[in-house]
Chains A and B, each alone.
Chain A
Amino acid sequence: MEKNIQKNAPKNASPLLEIRDLETWFYTEDGVVRGCDRVSYRVDKGETLAVVGESGSGKSVTAMSVLGLIPDPPGRVVGGQVLFKGRNLLDMDSKEMQQIRGNRISMIFQEPMTSLNPVMTVGRQIAESLVLHQGYSGKEAMVKAKEMLAMVGIPDPDARAGEYPYQLSGGMRQRVMIAIALACRPEVLIADEPTSALDVTIQAQILGLMKRLQQEMGMAIILITHDMGVVAETADKVAVMYCGRVVEYGTAEDIFHDPRHPYLEGLRRSVLDIDADVEELYMIRGSVPDPLDLPRGCSFAPRCAHAMEICEQKTPPAAYFSHTHHACCWLYREDHED
């Protein structure tokens, strides 16, 4: 199995985490929603991959599928592979998965208030995973928990460790979430909109903290966000999602200086730039289609200024511009005549 991956991956490095053709479907009363439709991306050690897209584009569904956190029913991972150091996480039983989740791969959730346990002190919440995964005794874990609180920049960690989430501010709670996620020194950190609920000055603090910890610990980060500014500031690679699919993938350089997919172009142009003076903002025409009733072919075709006949019939395959940069759009495929 190991050999197989080596053959397909670019020769320079073997990926730490690779998602291949992942499909997660939700079976709802009104029909099947393809929350994540043949999504592929990879992230290497010490690297930050940003997954961007608007709400409902499937960014979080993909991440939840990686950790086996999709509620079933209605959701189910129906295809694809999630390879962590060459092993397919989707083949693991729940016991094996527990060894990975929160230990080797951990996650920071968007809402720090609802994802922390309200009736447990923050110190114990950090210590819990250390006891569970790393075999610490309760006492040792508590000492370590306080160290973690100090590391994420919480003043007076000894006192704070004994407090409950409601006693902390939003920024503090997000720091606690980061401390929990990093306690076991994971190799991959999935951060789902870690700063969206926070103010800009606190956002700058948290992003700075994540960057510093990444440099210290060498972990890979998958950063899920809708904010192109956050992407510009933190990402090495970027996956752009639309209606459950990755429509463009490339390095930050590719995505910002050489965007190819019409959706990405539209997204980039509708972002407000504080240093630009524009009378009227650029608008992508139309709106995101109903996930229960996606258009045939390319999901973006009804809103696309360049749409051709084929776009409405066949899903566009990837067109490669370099070995790091591709977009799924018929504009860049020579083979669309047939």
Chain B
Amino acid sequence: MKTDNPPVRSPILSVRDLKVHFPVKQGVFKKTVGHVKAVDGVGFDLYPGQTLGLVGESGCGKTTVARALVRLVRARSGSVRLNGDDLLALSGKALRERRRHIQMIFQDPFSSLDPRMTVGQIIGEAVAFHRPDADVQALVLTYMEMTGLRPEVYNRYPHEFSGGQRQRIGIARALATEPGVVIADEPVSALDVSVQAKVLNLMKQLQKDLGIAYLFITHDLSVVKHVSDRIAVMYLGSVVEVFDAGKIRSGTVHPYTRALISSIPAQMPGTPTEKIQLQGEIPSPLHAPSGCKFRTRCPYASGRCRNERPGLGPGTGPDHWVACHHWKIICEKERE
């Protein structure tokens, strides 16, 4: 008999129990009076050639996760294993070498490109550093062609380009060091829909051609559903649910995920949509609630949620993880 188990694969990027806390200082002596727990125990696996979508509302810590992975901010604890090596434990030359394999595309195509550098210099800078023996100009031109930039623009400056074109420059820059993992932080949020479609198609095509793994960070659920294989939902510094992107409508159980998905506007007028309207707003991460952080807005909250923080545990299937005490009860209620 055949088994339905997928072949054993090992993740290219494996994050465990990542924590980033920012101290809050007050007074003349800048005494630390508390911590903002921006990222509070995040873990996930990213597989080669796949896309993991990381979604959540502003302030939930998704950008801080990205910045901690590439060590733009210091993590308090946890591990980030890239092909087995813990990036958080490395330093100096060893770290610089690994950085080539994990690159980032930033949200704002206007502020993330140096206005005084030409396109060729921007894309070539990291290439020259990480691949010293390569013919930089030839490589840059190859990646420009791949991302749909004409070779004539090699000596142009960023201000001469539109938002979509600039994002292509950002993508070419990230890909030019031949990374295995690319972290894309809201890469299309600043773009109009017609331009957004072009950039998303380009990113998908490049993934197919080059076998890159994306960690795709966004607040837009329609975008994340389109690009991802799996989706992780964050709330106030923690991952609350991980699920297969194809099951976005049917396969989620966490009350926050479901509220988030139900609040997406329908694409046709008159479509009956059942809105789960959440009460209130995300609490400040400085005064996060005890126990389950979502309990202050959750219709199913109980005494247990107040006292005990639910960990991310196995859910309904092999690729489903959820952090909720009551998800089984919620599922049963829904079925009735």
Say yes or no: B269 contacts A235, CB within 8 Å: yes
A270 in contact with B225 given A204-B275, A256-B269, A281-B200 (CB within 8 Å): no
Name the B residues within 8 Å of A201 (CB-CB). 57, 259-260, 263, 277-278
- Tell which of B6-14, B35-43, B72-80, B188-196 binds the partner: B188-196
A226 in contact with B192 given A200-B57, A271-B267, A278-B226 (CB within 8 Å): yes
Name the A residues within 8 Å of B164 (CB-CB). 287
Quick one: CB contact mask for A129-160 with B, threshold 8 Å, 1 for yes?
00000000000000000000000000100000
Say yes or no: B267 contacts A228, CB within 8 Å: yes
How many angstroms from the CA of A310 to the CA of B249 in the assembled complex?
Answer: 47
How many angstroms from the CA of A131 to the CA of B220 in the assembled complex?
Answer: 41
Q: Which of B58, B200, B271 contacts A199 (CB 8 A)?
A: B58
Say yes or no: A284 contacts B194, CB within 8 Å: yes
| Interface positions of A from 163 to 207, Cβ below 8 Å from B | 169-172, 199-205, 207
Within 8 Å of chain B (Cβ to Cβ): is A93?
no
Query: Closest chain A residue to B259 by CB distance?
Result: A201
Say yes or no: A55 contacts B264, CB within 8 Å: no
Say yes or no: A270 contacts B58, CB within 8 Å: no
Query: Closest chain B residue to A280 by CB distance?
Result: B201
Within 8 Å of chain A (Cβ to Cβ): is B316?
no
Name the A residues within 8 Å of B277 (CB-CB). 201, 204-205, 208
How many angstroms from the CA of A230 to the CA of B222 in the assembled complex?
Answer: 13
Name the B residues within 8 Å of A267 (CB-CB). 193-194
Seen from chain B, the residues whose Cβ lies within 8 Å of a Cβ on chain A are: 57-58, 162, 164, 192-198, 200-201, 204, 219-223, 225-226, 246, 248-249, 259-261, 263-269, 271, 275, 277-278, 280-281
Most buried by B among A204, A253, A273: A204
Say yes or no: A54 contacts B192, CB within 8 Å: yes
Within 8 Å of chain B (Cβ to Cβ): is A321?
no
How many angstroms from the CA of A231 to the CA of B269 in the assembled complex?
Answer: 8
Q: Please tell me the number of chain A residues within 8 Å of chain B, measured between CB atoms.
A: 46
Say yes or no: B281 contacts A171, CB within 8 Å: yes
Q: Which of B194, B261, B264 contacts A229 (CB 8 A)?
A: B264
Say yes or no: B278 contacts A271, CB within 8 Å: no
Say yes or no: B265 contacts A287, CB within 8 Å: no
Quick one: CB contact mask for A226-247 with B, threshold 8 Å, 1 for yes?
1111111101000000000000
How many angstroms from the CA of A307 to the CA of B198 in the assembled complex?
Answer: 22
Most buried by B among A202, A228, A272: A272
Name the B residues within 8 Å of A233 (CB-CB). 265-266, 269
Name the A residues within 8 Å of B222 (CB-CB). 229, 271-274
Say yes or no: A232 contacts B278, CB within 8 Å: no
A-B contacts, 14 listed (Cβ < 8 Å): A54-B194, A55-B192, A199-B57, A203-B263, A205-B278, A228-B193, A229-B266, A230-B265, A235-B269, A270-B196, A272-B222, A277-B246, A283-B197, A287-B195
Query: Closest chain A residue to B57 by CB distance?
Result: A199
Say yes or no: B265 contacts A229, CB within 8 Å: yes
Within 8 Å of chain B (Cβ to Cβ): is A275?
yes
Within 8 Å of chain B (Cβ to Cβ): is A282?
yes
Most buried by A among B194, B249, B259: B194
Name the B residues within 8 Å of A272 (CB-CB). 197, 220, 222-223, 225-226
Say yes or no: A281 contacts B197, CB within 8 Å: yes
Within 8 Å of chain B (Cβ to Cβ): is A266?
yes
Most buried by B among A199, A253, A277, A287: A199
A252 in contact with B249 given A172-B281, A274-B264, A281-B200 (CB within 8 Å): no
Query: Closest chain A residue to B190 by CB distance?
Result: A55
Min CB distance, A14 to chain B, in Å? 26
Say yes or no: A282 contacts B267, CB within 8 Å: no
Quick one: CB contact mask for A261-298 with B, threshold 8 Å, 1 for yes?
00000110011111101101111100110000000000
How many angstroms from the CA of A271 to the CA of B268 in the assembled complex?
Answer: 12
Name the A residues within 8 Å of B266 (CB-CB). 229, 232-233
A200 in contact with B281 given A55-B192, A270-B196, A272-B222 (CB within 8 Å): no
Q: A201-B260, A203-B263, A205-B277 are in contact. List 5 more A-B contacts (CB 8 A).
A: A54-B194, A172-B281, A256-B269, A272-B223, A280-B204
